[in-house]
Amino acid sequence: MRPLLADPAQKPLSSDIGEARVRAAELLQIRKSTPLFHLGEAGLVQQKVSFPLGGPEQTLGVVVMRIDDAVGSDVDAGLAGLVVVFNASDEATSQSIPGTAGAEYALHPVQAEGVDPVVKTATHEAATGSFTVPARTVAVFQTK
């Protein structure tokens, strides 16, 4: 890590820091504006949150979280669920999530209208339940 940090070409510019700040603010705005990210009780978290592709066979560098509001009491009248794909790998990933085929998921409006052109290329294929997310990107999808 030290050689990488010592490389002057890796020093961020003011504009890089400003853009990172705006992107972080967008993620905070998503969290604040989406009740499914505020379950509050351990029982609700255990009931609604899953990591469907976790385990020894999961794609390296990729974590998929699903929050299903169709299970148990309705937490968010506006949404039926969320899928969040954390892709820390250096390649785009496509993940087929059980139980999402046939549903229409769209990128969260904050990201769809945000400043990051890369996350805007993240997609969901309803026929297969497959989510495609670019490298080093966190994409939040929602379904109504």
Write out the two tokens for 42.
């351990």
Q: Is 83 helix (H, G, I), strand (E, B) or coil?
A: strand
Q: Look at the chain and report how many structural domains it folds into.
A: 1
Could you read off the pLDDT of 69-93 as tens digits, one per residue?
Answer: 999 999 999 999 999 999 999 999 9
Whichever domain contains 135, its CATH number is 2.60.40.1180
- The pTM (predicted TM-score) of the whole model is 0.90
Which range of residues forms the domain containing residue 14?
Answer: 2-143
Could you read off the pLDDT of 36-60 as tens digits, one per residue?
Answer: 999 989 999 999 999 999 888 899 9
